[in-house]
Structure 1
Amino acid sequence: MAILSVNINKIATLRNSRGGNVPDLLKVAMDLERFGAQGITIHPRPDERHIKYQDARDLKKIVTTELNIEGNPIDSFIALVDEVKPAQVTLVPDAPDAITSNAGWDTIKHADYLKEIVAHFKNQGIRTSIFVDPVEAMITGAAATGVDRIELYTEDYARQYTDNKEKAIAPYIKAAHKATELDLGINAGHDLSLENIQYFNEKLTDLKEVSIGHALIAESLYLGLENVVNMYKHRLS
């Protein structure tokens, strides 16, 4: 069974928009674990526009499942991961001004760099994962770095799912077979949702972990709004 790691970046974005501590990121993380989440994912960026570096330090103290830190391994990110020592670090090649991650690594072009970073984190006992597109050559390149897992970038799957789910999943099935052949663990994330996650999970039988944030938070707003509105009405009656 694949485990669910919840990305809480959107909670941090909401908190930061008012400058206070509402919603309380740490309480949300603890509640998510209490509700059944099997991991917490964060993606701190250099400008700290959502997750702050201090959040990573604070979460390390309270997360009891699995803390996964994603990001581009620039010097400040490497130093943070070295300090916090999460269960997993996921290497993502996003530019500092990227709104969200939008591509996987070219594991051939950046082979030497990735080998160095992977070795650095693995020497500290941190499981490492590389964010990749569902392209067999990129997965072969990832395996050559010594990494433990790959995280398949699933935006293309999500975008095509409603029109042709068989076509959408096909490259991911091939990618997963290649990863399993190379003894790589398989994670996945980006735009997975309640609508498309079950089919993805059924087709990728070796899937170990999904990281879901934006859709899960949005779906929680919709599925929880009726309850909260009526709680307010009850207090006003």
Structure 2
Amino acid sequence: MTTVGLLYPGHAAEDDFPRMEVMLDSDIRVPLFHTDIDEDARRTGNLREAGTPERLAAGVEELRMAGAEALVWACSGASFAYGWDGAHEQAAELARTAGLPASSTSVAFVHALRELGASRVAVAASYSEDVAALFAGFLEAGGVEVTATRGGGIISASEAAAADVELVKELAVAGDHPDAEVVLIPDNALHTAAHVPELEELVGKPVLTANQVAVWEGLRLTDRRVWAPTLGTLFATREPPPGAAERKGIEVRE
């Protein structure tokens, strides 16, 4: 069994993660541990406050007790709001505190793009335009070319969590750009786990969403490779082993 512990701020779309456990159809567990937030609004100051070492450390001991082999801070905004260097220092501090490999959703997006061999993206964010621009700047600092950035104007995590798939589709289509190789939807408060293939068919290219890449990143940290096309192109970049009858969550070792 592989166990990836997730730290998640407040309550929004956390039910995406048990859904992904089922979709992976394997011996993978992604237990989630909540951290506190002061306000639901995703403004720069609030995001930075949500990602302080003290808040993150509060959930680490419980995560370790659950047998996690790696941990991921499953909050895009409260990592990229610190910038490229700050987000990496945040992840390093988490690793030191937990004594485990650690990362964050924002860092995971860049690693996932490298996995796909892509360097040009469109950002289809639910956030306000200024917060979406922070994410674009974070990506550019990581060597990613951002062809377009669009904010959906959703300020609170609770409003994002209440959004249905049609709104997520609208975000993806409105935020896409002809020159982009991949569309990024960076919001862990959006329910996206069940819809990635549908989104990819709609825009005709890979789509990376926050909760999807958070789980993928945790598996990457544990050197676990899984074939699960129901979670999109990112989970189908490695061929299944010979003789696999169906496209399920089959481990691929290299």
TM-score range (shorter-chain normalised) is 0.3 to 0.5
- Looking at CA atoms only, which structure, 1 or 2, has the larger radius of gyration? 1
Higher RCO (Cα < 8 Å, 6 or more apart): 2
TM-score (normalised: structure 2):
0.34
| TM-score, scaled relative to structure 1 | 0.36
